[in-house]
Structure 1
Amino acid sequence: MSAAEHAAAVRRYLDELAQQRRLSPHTVSGYQRDLAVLARLLGELPGEPGFAALQPQHVRRFVGRLHADGLGGRSLARTLSAWRGFYRWLGRQGDVQRNPVDGVRAPKRPQALPKALSPDEAHCLLDAQSDDLLEIRDQAIFELFYSSGLRLAELAALDVSCLPDIADGEVRVRGKRSKLRIVPVGSKARAAVTAWVEQRSRLAPADEQALFVGRRGQRLGLRMIQLRLQRRGLLQDLPAHVHPHMLRHSFASHVLQSSGDLRAVQEMLGHASIASTQVYTHLDFQHLAKVYDQAHPRARRKPEPAS
């Protein structure tokens, strides 16, 4: 298989991920980078090997090299997952007989827990008041992050069509794999969004659908949202670098601490697995099991007395 045929196969696979499995452009881009690394490493094998020439020992050697070059366990696991999925697809196409990535695992990594603001730090961040137009917009953005636990891409994708839902105290977003979920919007966030909408026409042209726009009246980009939040954190003298995912995590942690309702938090975050929520909320498994035992009907049922 020539280099051009290699590239064509990768393009077909990525097109299938985007069009049939409906993965986000960000995820598809990550697969593309990982498969480019695979193609580069394959090119170092003797001769002109095709995808079928790859053997498990080659994959292990590649992983060792990438790890020695500084790639961490989490990144290696993601890379191997991309390679494994691609070879699974090649198998369905009849291009390979076996998956050489099966059974190869990334080095174990310590589980890094995401950082959260304390409730006092969250109040400090959000209590800043300003009459500046961009600060009014930013306030609505930050309040929504903290009120509803939205991901950065979810918030940036909001259109003005969501305003009736926000007025009713909820917002509908499409998360990973285009999964729709509905999350509540608190009174502070609703008030902040209303204040922004009253000023939005000063920046946005009449035909612009994006809820949040920049100076030029176009949809606000992800990087700009990150920078504006970082700036607010620095202005408020917060001790840690503040970023959107930190507000999402703070939302989850604070709601769970107040309510103890793990399943509700899982639903609001859009997690497919409760294990994701376990890590995300700084809970150990024993506490998770206790919450589950208290909440599940059959777990709560007392055993019948022995006759």
Structure 2
Amino acid sequence: MRGFWSALFGRRARRRWIHLILGGALAMPYVLVGSVVIGSLTGVSDVFTSLTLQLGSFAVGLPLAAVTALFPLTRPISVAAVRALCGVPGDALADGPPRSRAARGRTVAWFTLHLGFGGVLSGMTLALPPFAVTLMVLPLFAGLRDSALALPEVLHHAWALALAPVAGAAMLVALAGCAAVAGALLARWAPVLLGPTPADRLVVAERRAADLALRNRLARELHDSVGHALSAVTLQASAARRVLYHDVEFVREALAAIEDTTRRTVGELDAVLGVLREAGDPASTAPAPTLA
């Protein structure tokens, strides 16, 4: 039972519900444009007074949303929203704009599905909870039956009044179930529609190969530089040890040369290691250790 309630109202379900509501918010401009089209075709000034005309506006707006999904930034924005709210692993989704016609088609399909599911769930979220709460408190406030809420006539019967709280709670559970199912479907389809295509994988592989070649070249240069510096330091230290008690001036020059060589080598080492570290590596941002 706990797993059932977690699937409906858990953290992941709530975040996916937010993702759906975000899709409904994105669908609103297209629905408004569709309402203008439907209103001009039917001669109705306010199409939102009729559920049929609202659905017609929604049906007209979705193709417009599909056309705007061809913009390059649609996929990166959609991927960011899915990663943040749907619990989809980041490596299952593509980065950057689509690079092929197939990828653009998948992006259009995803954007249309997101706005379609989100528009329906957003409408349900706005409409069902107030009505469900009214049903749940109806037995406590008899005056609501005769108010201007235009409640169904069946609620005036005693048996319907007794079942009203149960019906209201069932509506809320059904709404959460619809949101959970829709969110799970979008999370399952996201890797298919927003996942990397062969062209995306090729670009990533080429970038990794270039990075690896650069890192290998820097590693060779680092090895040569440090190896040369260590050899020079070893020779200077060996010579200074041999004449330590006979030629103090030479020892002083040898120690100065060792100091200069090590300081220069440490600077080169820090510069090369800074390039070799991958972006986002915690070691690259960690504070340097102190003497203590």
- Report if TM-score (shorter chain) is over 0.5: no
Q: Which has more radius of gyration?
A: 2
TM-score, length-scaled by structure 1: 0.24
Larger RCO of the pair (alpha carbons < 8 Å, separation 6+): 2
TM-score, length-scaled by structure 2: 0.25
